Amino acid sequence: MAAEAGPDVHVALLRGVNVGGKRRLPMEELAALFEASGAREVRTLIQSGNVVFRAAASRVPAVAETVARELERRLGSPVPVVVRSGREIRAVPRANPFLRAGADPRTLHVAFLAGLPPRPRREALDPARSPPDEVAVVGREAFLRLPNGVARTRFTNAYLDATLGTVSTLRNWATVLALVERVAEASGR
């Protein structure tokens, strides 16, 4: 059994930073923003806005809000910041119904949701929207199996946001697993 992530380890997932050559932000600057907002031991992962950091759970909402406000000021448009505790990130692989069903991990993605969508919103997702793609919402994660790739799916952030009534930010499976590993390292396990 895997050891639990430290209670003060968290992951911030930013949407739309350094994607497609837009809203460019060096990761060193992003790390500095988190540190200035009260986060400690800040580490970034790849260039698309994944940040592992330490902070007391009570401070995390203020850190995320401060970073989002500063990013909007610097980049000229809102940048959603979705946060998960280390424990929540480490639970994602076990919760993925497509992985449990034997899907090719290269086809898997996770849309991390800012809020928990109510049942009527989850039921409004159209399973026939983008065949052969599949989506399953488990808690605050929308798991996607995209055999034809993320560029061809109609399960976009805009669709998920509008249908589920919350903000989403998408990560491929390899990035999710790398975040799980970073959280384990930050937790000293």
Render 114-153 in DSSP notation, one character per residue: SS---HHHHHTS-TTSSTT-EEEEETTEEEEE-TT-TTT-
Taking alpha carbons only, the member of 109, 115, 98, 107 closest to residue 166 is: 115
At which of 70, 88, 106 does a domain end?
Answer: 88
Tell me: do 26 and 39 sit in the same domain.
Answer: yes
At which of 71, 88, 105 does a domain end?
Answer: 88
Is 125 within a domain?
Answer: yes
Tell me: do 120 and 157 sit in the same domain.
Answer: yes
Tell me: do 83 and 95 sit in the same domain.
Answer: no
Q: Within a 13 Å sphere around the CA of 187, how many CA atoms are in the beta-carbon half?
A: 22
Number of domains composing the chain: 2
The predicted structure's pLDDT at residue 24:
80
At which of 68, 88, 108 does a domain end?
Answer: 88
Query: Is the distance from CB of 112 to CB of 168 less than 8 angstroms?
Result: yes
Q: What's the pTM?
A: 0.93
Tell me: do 96 and 170 sit in the same domain.
Answer: yes
Is 182 within a domain?
Answer: no
User: Digits of tens for pLDDT over the chain (189 positions)?
Assistant: 344 566 799 999 999 876 656 678 888 999 999 999 999 999 999 877 899 999 999 999 999 999 999 999 988 889 999 999 999 999 999 999 999 899 999 999 999 999 999 999 999 999 999 999 999 999 999 999 999 999 999 999 999 999 999 999 999 999 999 999 999 999 886
The predicted structure's pLDDT at residue 2:
44
Tell me: do 83 and 109 sit in the same domain.
Answer: no
The predicted structure's pLDDT at residue 6:
63
Domain containing residue 165? 90-176
The predicted structure's pLDDT at residue 187:
86
Is 115 within a domain?
Answer: yes
d(CA 119, CA 147) in angstroms, rounded, equals 26
Tell me: do 103 and 81 sit in the same domain.
Answer: no
